[in-house]
């Protein structure tokens, strides 16, 4: 049985809101919110939509089945690898089916002279940490040298990619949000 009230209460509490604060946001009484949370009354779809919007959720998110068996730890067997010898890189997708997540971590290995493909501008952010060697980060017409132990973070508002202009192999942990690789 779906307990709407309990789910609303858990979300409200996780956001640090009181019943009064939630009620004020949706122009309802504290008493009504209390009754909904205790499953003593059921809100109309319109009222439920208003409550969920105030809690930063959509109806679809709210009623989505929760996967209690969600995988948390991933090992070598979960990694998907794609090599591109012509471009001199290999990419390891560290989490399978990362497209369903908010972020996508990959491990990029660049041979000397290698580069990733150019990515078009998109919403979100990009983060990378150089684990080995050094790379050149290309964003639009700008370039940035990034060495082992350093990181980069940017909003991908221009075409972007990384290249290895050194004589040694380079490895980069790269995270994109939303997933774009």
C-alpha to C-alpha distance for 154 and 160, rounded to whole angstroms = 10
Sheet holding 125-132, edge to edge: 80-84, 89-93, 104-110, 170-177, 125-132, 151-154
Residue listed under structure tokens 């990694």: 79
Sign of CA dihedral 90, 96, 98, 103: negative
pLDDT for the residue numbered 69: 59
pTM of the predicted model as reported, rounded to 2 decimal places: 0.62
pLDDT for position 2: 62
The per-residue pLDDT for 73 is 87
Mean pLDDT of 139-166: 97
Q: CA nearest 23: which of 14, 7, 15, 12?
A: 12
What percent of the chain clears pLDDT 90, i.e. is strictly above it?
64
Structural domains of the chain, with CATH: 4-63 (1.10.260.40), 76-177 (2.60.120.10)
Q: Which two tokens stand for residue 146?
A: 């990034």
Residue 116 pLDDT: 95
Tell me the CA distances in angstroms from 65 to 11, 62, 81, 138, one per residue in order: 15, 8, 30, 41
Q: Where are the alpha helices (DSSP H) in the chain?
A: 4-14, 19-26, 30-37, 45-54, 59-63
How far apart (Å, rounded) are the C-alpha atoms in residues 62 and 170? 43
- Average the pLDDT over each of 15-19, 60-64, 80-84 and give the range with the smallest value: 60-64
**pLDDT at residue 100 is higher than 70:** no
Judged against a pLDDT cut of 70, whether residue 154 lies above it is answered with yes
Q: Could you tell me which of 65, 61, 97, 56 has the C-alpha nearest to residue 79?
A: 97
Q: 105: which strand partners?
A: 175
Provide φ and ψ at 49, rounded to 5°. -60, -45
Query: Of 95-99, 138-142, 155-159, which gets the smallest average pLDDT?
Result: 95-99
Q: Which pLDDT score, from 0 to 100, does residue 76 have?
A: 87
pLDDT in tens, 113-146: 999 999 999 999 999 999 999 999 999 999 999 9
pLDDT recorded at residue 107? 96
Who has greater pLDDT, 77 or 142? 142
Q: With H, G, I as helix, E, B as strand and everything else as coil, classify residue 145.
A: strand
The Cα 92–Cα 80 span in angstroms is 6
What tokens appear for 12 in the block? Answer: 């409200």
pLDDT tens per residue across span 3-31: 899 899 988 998 889 999 999 999 999 99
Q: With 70 as the cut, is the pLDDT of residue 48 above it?
A: yes
């Amino acid at each position: 049985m779906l307990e709407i009230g309990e789910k609303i209460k858990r979300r409200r509490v996780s956001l640090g809101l009181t019943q009064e604060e939630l009620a004020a946001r949706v122009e309802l009484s504290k008493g009504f919110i209390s009754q909904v949370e205790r499953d003593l009354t059921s809100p109309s779809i319109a009222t439920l939509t208003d409550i969920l919007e105030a809690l930063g959720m959509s109806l679809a998110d709210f009623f989505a089945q929760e996967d209690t068996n969600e995988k948390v730890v991933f090992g070598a067997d979960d990694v998907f690898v794609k090599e591109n010898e012509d471009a001199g890189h290999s990419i390891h997708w560290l989490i399978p089916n990362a497209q369903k997540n908010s972020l996508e971590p990959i491990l990029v290995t660049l041979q000397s002279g290698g580069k990733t493909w150019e990515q078009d501008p998109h919403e979100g952010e990009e983060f990378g940490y150089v684990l080995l060697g050094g790379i050149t980060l290309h964003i639009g017409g700008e370039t940035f040298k990034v060495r082992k132990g350093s990181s980069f973070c940017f909003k991908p508002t221009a075409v972007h990619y990384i290249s290895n202009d050194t004589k040694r192999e380079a490895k980069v942990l790269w995270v994109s949000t939303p997933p774009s690789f």
